[in-house]
Structure 1
Amino acid sequence: MNAPTLARAPANPSMQTSRAARTRLVMAAAVGNALEFYDFTVYAFFALVIGKLFFPVHDPVGQLLLAVASFGVGFFTRPVGGLLIGMYADRAGRKKAMLLTLGLMALGTAMIAVAPTFAQAGLAAPVILVIARLIQGFSAGGEVGASTTLLLEQAPSNRRGFYASWQFASQGLSALAGALTGVALTATLTAAQLESWGWRVPFIIGTAIVPVGWWLRRTMEEAPRESVEARPKAPKLPLVAVLRDHRRAVLNGLGLTIGGTSAHFIIVFYLSIYGVKTLGLPNWTAMLSGCVSGAILFVVAPIGGYLSDRIGRNKLAQTTRILLMLAIWPAFALLNQSPTTGTLLAVVTALSIVHSLNVGPTGAMLGELFPREVRATGAAIVYSLGVAIFGGFAQFFVTSLIVITKSVMAPAWYVIGCGVLSVIAVMCMRERSRETLD
């Protein structure tokens, strides 16, 4: 039996996407995306060890700042990757672009896995590390636009939010996998073993399992929703078309991305570092908080996508964003009043549930801002640029703010400020959940 199709879909059943093909497509996009973001996120969980091995300054705070700065360096190339690979996806197809991003991510991860430390290679060590991070950032920037638009375009018209939400759910799966790897390593290895060779294991695993994602994507069907003749062709310069014809969509997309990405990197990544460096909790507790937030994102983001198909994307996005803004300051205040493992996990759980519901409709909302011929380019630009500015350096900004202001509440104010921009953006967006895509 064929699943429901969007308006303008051909009447010929052979041109429609079967339920089985859609399921496989979701798996290929989600699993492949999870593999990519696993490689990208394990770096965050091992930032403390990497800072010590690659940036041998005497001040521990300086080591942390350099480590999270090198984490953020990868976000410099995200907009470039989003632009170039997004245009490639619009002109050559989503599938080819997704294979390209996976190959690039494998290269960057392999470089980190075998990179010499500062003690072994001197200044060449951080240089190699930064180059690898730049390659990973370029790949991740192009991944979101290609995979999200593919999921969106192949979804039934009344389930676009649910299908597109798997792009963000897979990021939760990658965070969970990275945190579990960290927990296993810190529980079984001594500190000396972890610094000697243990930190390389997650990156070796990431490189080794890339062929699985490659096979899934290589064999998936990029089934057209329309005949090739009827499908609008991408312009020769998609970027020019996006900036010329869709400026309002770009601004709205940036605002939407800013709120979600600031909360994501604070809740999923920074709280683990905050628990260790500011609250004085053991490393395994921080890793456990990463497991909790990743698992919740994986489970709850599709629920958010499903709800957005039923009650509307804008209403869900606005309600959950405001709720998160109201909850983030009391959450950090509670953490500092009662800096225990139980408090950290309770705060991470509560914030992650609200955040996951909020990002559930985001993938569909970004894709629905742009027409098909420039959709991958437009979505990739606004997402990668917003993430690069407000997500990649979120840990660096917040850590610096804590040092400068002497206030441990800086992360909460950062999320609130970005959230205000997101609320304004959604107010300016048209509700598209009841409309046909193209």
Structure 2
Amino acid sequence: MRHLEQSLPSPRELYASDQENKRSNHKRSRGERPYRTIAISSLGTVLEYYDYIIFVFFVKTIGQIFFPPSIPDWVTQVAAFGIFAAGYLARPFGGIVLAHYGDLLGRKRMFVLTIAIMTSSSLGIAAMPTYAGIGIAAPIVLLAFRLLQSAAVGGEVPGAWTFVAEHVPRHRVGLACAMMSSSVVMGIFLGSLTAIAINSWFSVSDVQSFAWRLPFLVSGCAGALSMFVRRYLAETPAFEELKRKRALATEWPLRIVLKRHLFGVAISFALGSFLTAGLVVLYLMTPTLLQTLYAITPLAALQANLLATGVVIASTIAAGFVVDRVGGEWFLVVGSIGFGVSVCVLFEGMLYHPNWLLVLYAMAGFCSSVFVAVPYLMINSFPPSVRYTGVALSYNMASAIFGGMTPIIVTYGLRIDRMAHMHYLIFACALATTVGLVLLGRSKGRL
């Protein structure tokens, strides 16, 4: 009997075992729902990039109604694009601030906050008066909303990558990043469709009068729904583990990143530059370049752009599976070379076979799925305690510099080189290939 009593667990041991079982069951129940988490997270990212891009498609109308009618058209266009470009300057600031608290207080809180800021800004733009109503205050208020939008995007994209990557098993991080990257392109795709619909359904006077507000209004309402749903997402297991072990950053995360992870910052900055340059040239600038350099009709250029965007949405998911199988380094090296080749075929081919536009643009879109390797490698460049800050700093600095400078560089480059757009992308691909080779060399050295 004494032996039996000694073998029985004490009440304290029973309680500890029960608590451990509860934690295990909780983790298991969450682990069975990672793709629901990704789906909910993706919805917010789609809406944020839809909001961000829709401004571009209505920039001409915005310039006409938010600036004095007495100034020349080219001045209003420059001013409107200036407001758009100014948003890039707010991205690093917003990203670093939101990431700072994301590393200290939790990813989920900042994830909800970014969509709240974006939703408020969209509804504000939809409801605000124009120059006819409040005069010179109109562009100032518009700029303020635009800066808020950009600050939210600065925290949203790195936060989304971090959030979903920490919610899935390690062998599915590539797929998780692919789904989030696909949602970014989906936002661009929906923005294009919305612009087409508004301009098809309404006259020019109706668009200037009220219809330009509709895309922002719809986005604001959908964002409010997304914000409500995000409140029910669980915090990432990685952050909860840091809290449990009391391993959160003991000083400012930014200081830790700059002091101990400069290599990760350099690599991630280069990767972010590759991603930003590729997206801006291939998906935002190419439709215009096709018209001005290759005499393609606006309708044909837009149709080709929509096809390429649809192709990359699907191919990005497939690329996520490949990354999980072969690793991000190899995929980056091979994929960036393939993307560079596809770009050459697209732009050189258009000189001699413009009727192949749809096929060539779709092929370039397919090869641009190499961008999946970017968030995957960024996530793995920083430890969990400062991951959000490291990714946000690197990505947003690259986005701020190359997002704003790429159109200028390419435009001025075309004055001396008729294929400057192609050569610019080839340079970006060469940079990505170099980064991949460096990472492969370091991984072999560790082995």
- If the TM-score is normalised by the length of the shorter chain, which range does it land in? 0.7 to 0.9
Unaligned runs of 5+ in 1: 1-9
Q: Distance in 2 between matches of 1:290 and 1:411?
A: 16
Please report how far the alpha carbon of residue 276 of structure 1 lies from its aligned counterpart in structure 2 after TM superposition.
5.0
How many residues are aligned here?
A: 419
Equivalent residue, structure 2, for 1:141 = 154
Residues 158 and 433 in structure 1, CA contact (< 8 A), matched pair in contact too: no
Match of 2:190 among 177, 182, 185: 177
What is the rounded CA distance, in whole Å, between the counterparts of 2:309 and 2:379 in structure 1?
Answer: 24
Q: How does 1:11-410 map to 2 (within 5 A)?
A: 12-16=24-28, 18-54=30-66, 57-58=71-72, 60=74, 63-225=76-238, 227=241, 228-230=243-245, 232-276=247-291, 283-335=298-350, 343-356=356-369, 358-402=370-414, 405=415, 407-410=417-420
Q: 1:189 to 1:165 in 2, by over 3 A?
A: same
CA shift, 1:324, in A, is: 1.9
* C-alpha displacement of 1:262: 0.4
SS at match of 1:222: coil
Would you say the 8 A contact 1:26–1:166 is kept in 2?
yes
TM-score w.r.t. length of structure 2? 0.85
- CA shift for structure 1 position 153: 1.1
Greater Cα offset, 242-251 or 115-124: 115-124
1:241: Cα distance to partner?
A: 0.1
How far residue 128 of structure 1 moved from its aligned partner, in angstroms, is 2.3
Cα distance, 1:247 vs structure 2: 0.4
TM-score by length of structure 1 reads 0.87
For the Cα contact (< 8 Å) 2:47–2:223, is it kept in 1?
yes
For 1:19 and 1:11, the matched residues in 2 are separated by 12
Question: Which of the pair has more CA radius of gyration?
Answer: 2
Give the distance between the partners of 1:198 and 1:283, measured in 2 at CA: 22
Does residue 426 of the first structure (1) align with residue 441 of the second (2)? Answer: no
- State the distance in 1 between where 2:361 and 2:211 align: 27
**Percent identity for Structure 1 against Structure 2:** 26
CA offset at residue 219 of structure 1? 1.0
Worse-superposed segment, 108-117 or 255-264: 108-117
Distance 1:135 1:318, change over 3 A: same
Distance 2:128 2:299 in 1: 25
Residue by residue over 1:367-421, the C-alpha shift from the partner in whole angstroms, topping out at 9 and shown as x without a partner, is: 100000000000111111111111244334433444xx16543322222233332
Following TM superposition, by how much is the alpha carbon of 1:347 offset from its aligned partner in structure 2, in angstroms? 3.6
**3-state SS of paired residue (1:81):** helix
Superposed CA deviations along residues 212-259 of structure 1, whole A, max 9, x for unmatched, are 211221111225246442362123300000000000110011111111
Amino acid at match of 1:148: W
Does the Cα contact within 8 Å between 2:117 and 2:152 map onto a contact in 1? yes
How many angstroms does 1:133 deviate by?
Answer: 1.5
1:6 aligned residue: none
Q: Which secondary structure state, in structure 1, belongs to the residue aligned with residue 170 of structure 2?
A: coil
Instruction: Report the equivalent of 1:4.
Output: none
Work out the CA distance in 2 between the residues paired with 1:284 and 1:203: 24
In the TM superposition, what is the alpha-carbon distance from 1:169 to its structure 2 partner?
0.8
Aligned AA (1:138): A
In structure 2, C-alpha distance between the alignment counterparts of 1:411 and 1:360, rounded to whole Å: 22
Aligned pairs for 1:3-18 within 5 A: 12-16=24-28, 18=30
Q: Distance in 2 between matches of 1:235 and 1:282?
A: 58
User: 5+ unaligned residues in a row in structure 2: which ranges?
Assistant: 1-21
The C-alpha deviation readout for 1:58-109, integer Å capped at 9, x for no partner, is 354x555444332221110111111110111111111100111011111222
Measured in 2, the distance between the counterparts of 1:27 and 1:412 equals: 35
Choose 22-31 or 227-236, whichever is displaced more. Answer: 227-236
